[in-house]
């Protein structure tokens, strides 16, 4: 597998990793297929959302913090249960379509690592499969 390393700087933030994902793909020989993104952590997640107006990700982060408060009468002694819950409410794996050697995304879409218990050094794991082109062409 390939790995993207992300150093987060706040307890809660969304970090745009779209460029990194495209860069990893560029180093491979894959024309058409899929790209699997996997988060090997339990207090962060991954999502796709708007990468044009930065206030969108601030609204998402703020909402997640309000919906799942840091101090919420939890049992887990490490004090980061909010982050574990937010991690399950976002995603741990996303599958992207690759065409003509590029990750295919909608006009306004970016790929974000969602940090819920930073700052920390995080990894995103990636693997790629090529499509059996005859199947999708028929």
Of 16, 56, 65, 101, the one binding a second copy by CB under 8 A:
56
CA angle 24, 30, 35 (to 5 degrees): 60
How far is Cα 14 from Cα 111, in angstroms, rounded to an integer?
9
Of 11, 16, 20, 49, the one binding a second copy by CB under 8 A:
49
How far is Cα 80 from Cα 94, in angstroms, rounded to an integer?
24
Of 17, 21, 90, 116, the one binding a second copy by CB under 8 A:
90
Among 9, 38, 17, CA closest to 120: 9
Does residue 15 bind a second copy (CB under 8 A)? no
From 4-12, 15-23, 32-40, give the range in contact with a second copy by CB under 8 A.
32-40
Strands, E assignment, the chain: 2-7, 13-16, 33-38, 44-50, 93-99, 102-103, 109-115, 121-130
- 11 vs 42, which CB is nearer to a second copy? 42
How far is Cα 106 from Cα 137, in angstroms, rounded to an integer?
22
Of 7, 9, 10, 55, the one binding a second copy by CB under 8 A:
55
- 11 vs 128, which CB is nearer to a second copy? 128
How far is Cα 99 from Cα 137, in angstroms, rounded to an integer?
13
Does residue 22 bind a second copy (CB under 8 A)? no
- Token readout for 8 is 């987060």
**Contact track, a second copy, 97-136, x by CB under 8 A:** x-x----xxxxxx-------------x-x-xxxxxx-xxx
Cα 32 off chain centre by: 21
Does residue 4 bind a second copy (CB under 8 A)? no
For a second copy, the binding residues (CB under 8 A) are: 1-2, 27-30, 33-34, 36, 38-42, 47-50, 53, 55-56, 58-60, 63, 67-68, 72, 74-78, 81, 84-85, 87-97, 99, 104-109, 123, 125, 127-132, 134-136, 138
């Amino acid at each position: 597998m390939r790995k993207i390393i992300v150093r987060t700087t706040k307890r809660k933030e969304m970090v745009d990793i779209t460029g990194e994902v495209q860069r990893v793909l560029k180093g491979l020989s894959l024309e058409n297929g899929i790209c699997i993104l996997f988060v090997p952590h339990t207090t962060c997640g991954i999502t796709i959302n708007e990468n044009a107006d930065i206030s969108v990700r601030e609204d998402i982060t703020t909402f997640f913090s309000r919906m799942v408060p840091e101090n919420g009468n939890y049992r887990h002694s490490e004090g980061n249960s909010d982050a574990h819950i937010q991690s399950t409410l976002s995603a741990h794996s996303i599958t992207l379509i690759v065409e003509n050697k590029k990750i295919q995304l909608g006009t306004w879409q970016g790929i974000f690592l969602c940090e819920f218990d930073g700052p920390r050094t995080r990894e995103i794991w990636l693997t790629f499969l090529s499509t059996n082109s005859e199947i999708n062409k028929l």
